[in-house]
Chains A and B, each alone.
Chain A
């Protein structure tokens, strides 16, 4: 079975591939990634992917960013309810929150105290800027050579560093525990539950 994955960027892709690989069971799954060209591309194309004549399995993932809540974004973007075989999920507020939701994994990867991480990130779904939170945690990591790959600190703000995607891919593939993350993020847990729609004949509950 081919699943067509539509994502904003590389990190969302790696995360989605891990989710699909783990939670879609019983079928030989091949994931094909479309897009990786930012949020605008998904917004522009989503209604074509959601065309009722189309029955190809799709998993579409975008970040909520500054929109108030996920239902509002879905309401704004979709002209009609999600068709059969298409799962559209919105990460609250960015997929980085889903990574932070595994605080044990993060603390191991960054070689930092778990108590510190879990105090900083109590409810990942409530973070207003999860990526910034992640960058600021990395900055305090004891793994010096990792910091300059992930974070660029230009004095006034923290930005994505030159090796951001590679380092976080490494984390996602090797250290990120999705069961732990699931128990800590409602947004992530619901995304995983929604995948059932791709394997079972289920009517759609989202709009």
Chain B
């Protein structure tokens, strides 16, 4: 299953957008256009649905509904609204549709601000199976602080959808956190991935699966990092799992290294390969090009393509990028690209399929890097350095 459409009202910098998504999606846009904010809507749904999550917690983590709501939100439409379609295949009608509208109440010195559900709707195929507020919501307003999505007793009729949201994976590996997890444990919110629990996840896999996956990862890494050999997962005295490898150099036997000594690029590639080999739910990647050599970045679009062809099912990949190298691949289709464009009230988002100018440019044989990225460039970028002259 994959997210085939997202419609947002007043979500962060998106006043009003409605975009279709493919199974591989590249989000491009200038700095501060809201690429992370767009990815965040999927994380938000995950945060509502996941164990120990819930609507109030998901809103709290984001600093309250006033931080989520678009700055350009104007009466009479000030609610935050999210609408998501889930498809089994691109050709068919949506399998599931989920809609939620949010406002807030309380605040000030007296009471705590709470997010309140204006409506929550679920369609299974064409059939509307949840339609809130219902009678009991109206008689007990407290109920409107909790989604049906987060409650196992209430989501039994759409458990498949709840599990789908719960399993959305966000990957933004920060090598510094992998190398020194302790220093970050106190500061960050503990639920976030950031690569911290990568090795924990690996250690929980069946031994055979893990070893065969590490073998594959090592074989793929070999072309990017030729000196790295014998990738294994080992536990230290405290029982903590670590990745280990032999790094070949001028000494006859090479040196044993663990992840602390791996380069940023190596760690990010391992994380990417691992995520692509596992899981069948959407994977969100934030700028996967970071720390990678441009020769490797040029391969990313195809790496994702081939890794999506796994027997266990296609995993949707939604990534944000600024990278020319990543997009310089004519195998990327117009419907796989979303362009974000700042406008006077927030940001507009469009699938390239709907933008005639860009589509025509692609038809002349230009790659998405050549045809799409120029549209995301700030017009006065050449004047960037002028203030630094003397």
Which A residues fall within an 8 A CB radius of B? 2, 4, 10, 13-14, 17, 30-35, 45, 48-49, 51, 54, 56, 145, 149, 163, 165-167, 169-170, 173
Contact = CB atoms under 8 A, between A and B. Distances in A.
A61 to B, nearest CB: 15
Contacts of A51: 364
B383 interface: yes
Contact of B389 (A4, A13, A166): A166
A129 B347 CA distance: 46
A205 to B, nearest CB: 24
Nearest 5 A-B pairs (CB), nearest first? A48-B364, A32-B374, A166-B385, A14-B382, A169-B382
Interface in B341-390: 357, 360-361, 363-366, 370-371, 374-375, 377, 379, 382-383, 385-386, 388-390
Contacts of B357: 2, 4, 32, 56
Nearest to A167: B389
B386 A34 contact: no
Contacts of A54: 360, 363-364
Contact of B386 (A10, A48, A166): A166
A145 B363 CA distance: 47
Contacts of A31: 379
Contact of A4 (B361, B377, B383): B361
Contacts of A48: 364-366
A54 B357 CA distance: 10
Contacts of A34: 361, 366, 370-371, 374
A56 B375 CA distance: 14
Interface residues of B, number: 20
Contacts of B382: 10, 13-14, 17, 165, 169
B357 to A, nearest CB: 5
A13 B390 CA distance: 23
B360 to A, nearest CB: 6
A169 B382 CA distance: 7
A170 B389 contact: yes
Contacts of B364: 45, 48-49, 51, 54
A173 B360 contact: no
Contact of A169 (B371, B375, B383): B383
Interface string B169-194: 00000000000000000000000000
B71 to A, nearest CB: 24
A104 to B, nearest CB: 21
A145 B390 contact: yes
A166 to B, nearest CB: 4
Given A166-B385, A169-B383, A170-B389, A32 B375 contact: yes
Contacts of A49: 364
A2 B371 CA distance: 13
B386 A173 contact: yes
A46 B357 CA distance: 17
B386 A169 contact: yes
A170 B385 CA distance: 9
Nearest to A168: B382
A165 B374 CA distance: 19
A56 B363 CA distance: 12
Contacts of B363: 54
A140 B357 CA distance: 47
Contacts of B389: 149, 163, 166-167, 170
Contacts of B375: 32
A55 to B, nearest CB: 8
A11 B126 CA distance: 56
Given A51-B364, A145-B390, 4 more contacts: A17-B379, A48-B365, A56-B357, A163-B389
Contacts of A45: 364-366
20 contacts: A4-B361, A13-B382, A14-B382, A32-B375, A33-B374, A34-B370, A34-B371, A34-B374, A35-B370, A48-B364, A54-B360, A54-B364, A56-B360, A56-B361, A145-B390, A166-B389, A167-B389, A170-B386, A170-B389, A173-B386
A32 B357 CA distance: 11
A56 B361 CA distance: 8
Contacts of A56: 357, 360-361
Q: Which of A31, A56, A149, A163 has the most CB atoms of chain B within a 10 A radius of its CB?
A: A56
Contacts of B385: 163, 166
A79 B377 CA distance: 31
Contacts of A166: 385-386, 388-389
Contacts of A4: 357, 361, 374
A31 B370 CA distance: 14
Nearest to B357: A2
